[in-house]
Chain A
Amino acid sequence: MKTRKSLLFWYAILGFIVLMTVFASVVAPYGPNDMNMDNVYGAPGDGHLLGTDHLGRDVFSRLLAGGKVTLTVASVSVLLSLVLGVLYGGISGYIGGFIDTIMMRLLEAFITIPSLIIILAFQTVMQGGMWGMALIIGLTGWLVTARIVRSEFLRLKEAEFVQMANMFGTPMWKIIIGHLLRNSVPAIFVVTLFNFAGAIFIEVSLSFLGIGIPPAIPSWGNMLYYAQNDILIGAWWIGLFPGIMIFITILAINFIGEGLKNPQRR
């Protein structure tokens, strides 16, 4: 009972953040790139709820617009890695045998490479902006999904109802989609949630380093990039709020993931 309540609470938090960022253009009092050179480094309050940054831009408005970018990049990349992971894991798990062994060895090798380094390297060559970023994160993020899908498929393939379906001569695609994939949905959903948190982490980290989303587009990571210097002159609000938003978003995702994960285990 207690977990249900806390789950609802975190759903509400995450939903609120998503809604606020989706309707950023309506909710935000200023445009994300509206500069006001008369009011740089304005402290929170006094017309600007969360203060202004080094160009006099409203931090609150930028926070909402930035959230939209960050969450869009994370969502697109997660969708991409979901598709890739299901395909790879599904093929490996369904066919099994020798091909499965080869595919899994390859996967193990990929998993050992720190994905951040690969993304870093690709960013230098591609410099593709927001969509390029989503593409790269998606291309490097499907490994765990594939592993989960594969083990689910292996397990379900031996299940009695699948054997039965096989015996009745159910077509292959129906077994794969209707039985194997459908019964793996809960597990896939949980791992996708954690992937989502991971994608946010990567976008934020890279933009923070200045090699992620181009500086012209506000994102939570980009805002922190400038905050590094701003904090040294005492403008703490520029760095504090994006960080808190990232923290709460990831916290909500993690709690939801944990809440969904536990009942299934037993």
Chain B
Amino acid sequence: MTAKWIGKRMVMGTIVLLIVSFLSFFIMHAAPGDPATAFYGGNAQTLTTAEKERIAQAFALDRPVLVQYGVWLAETLTGNLGYSSKEGRPVATILMERLPNTLLLFSVTLFFIIIGSIWLGTVAGMKEGSLWDRGLSTFSIATSSIPAFWLGILFISFFAVKLGIFPSSGTGEIGGDGGLVDKLRHLIMPAAVLILTHVGIYARFLQESIKAESRHYYVMVARANGVAEKEIRQGILRNASMPYLNYIGMTIPSFFGGSIIVESLFSWSGLGQLTVKAAMTKDFPLLMGGILWTGLIVVISLFIIDLLMYALNPKLRKGGVR
């Protein structure tokens, strides 16, 4: 059962990646100029006509688009993403340098968002009608209406320009040793912006699902039979965590979109900033690589969340719905 379920999820993830790769391929295809030039970027000017011909043949550029896609896909699967047209280095190498930064920002913010929203949501959800309950609803709507990058601008003008506590941008001091402390100092502002603008909605979702769960009949029965309040809470929380996890999974793509903007604002040298830069400079190989890797990260995180849900929910494990 488990193997079958995991297999199904993997097929799903593969389909997503295929669509992403298809899209990114067609972007390259639609790009002005001939694909060989786009692929070799800045180095293309040094190519002779004969060499261009050879490249065209090697990449099947003289054949139909779908064949080209197949050849490109095969090449991509072996890890060859081409060369950046601005830097002239292999795309895979550049992406590899950026990956740790993105993963750091992503995991730190997601960690605090989850901890914070569980705390806020539980407190607010368990006391229905209290000040916490109503306050959180308003707070979450208000914070989720703030554009994250604008909050970032305000933070920069206040904390970096006026007070000078935190560095305004970058991932580390120029000429610094690039140590952990230095990196964390640069991490604080982008992470804070992302956490502040996201923690509210997640907390609110948990709060709503706890409230809905508390109204169920089994809670009343348990209470009437004198089950300890602590145990009831645990039960409610466990059941309410299902839709909550599902919600996190559903919003991860858009969360990722938001973090791209914040990365660019703070010049946090991660995948998102790289992708934006590649889009602005029309560095197509790099852009495609960035898109593919972002898709991969999203698919993997969704897979992890699915696994978590699978482990927590007996209904899924015993082959119920879906």
Contacts and interface: CB of A to CB of B under 8 A. Distances in A.
Given A110-B19, A121-B24, A115 B150 contact: no
B188 interface: no
A137 interface: no
Interface residues of A, number: 43
Interface in B215-234: none
A24 interface: no
Contact of A125 (B31, B157, B264, B265): B31
Given A109-B15, A231-B157, A121 B279 contact: yes
B150 A246 contact: yes
Interface stretch (A27-35, A73-81, A179-187, A201-209): A201-209
Interface in B257-297: 257-258, 260-261, 264-265, 275-276, 279-280, 282, 284, 287, 291, 294-295
B23 A121 contact: yes
Interface in B185-243: none
A231 B20 CA distance: 37
A66 interface: no
Interface residues of B, number: 48
Contacts of A109: 12, 15-16, 19
A227 B280 CA distance: 19
A26 B63 CA distance: 57
B60 to A, nearest CB: 21
With most chain B CB atoms within 10 A of its CB, the pick from A115, A240, A243 is A243
A209 B276 contact: yes
With most chain B CB atoms within 10 A of its CB, the pick from A113, A115, A228, A243 is A113
Secondary structure at the A interface, as helix, strand, loop or mixed, is helix
Interface of A: 105, 108-118, 120-125, 197, 201, 204-205, 208-211, 224, 227-228, 231-232, 234, 236, 239-240, 243, 246-247, 250-251, 254-255, 258
Interface of B: 12, 15-16, 19-20, 23-24, 27, 30-31, 137, 141-142, 144-147, 149-150, 153-154, 156-157, 161, 168, 250, 253-254, 256-258, 260-261, 264-265, 275-276, 279-280, 282, 284, 287, 291, 294-295, 298-299, 302
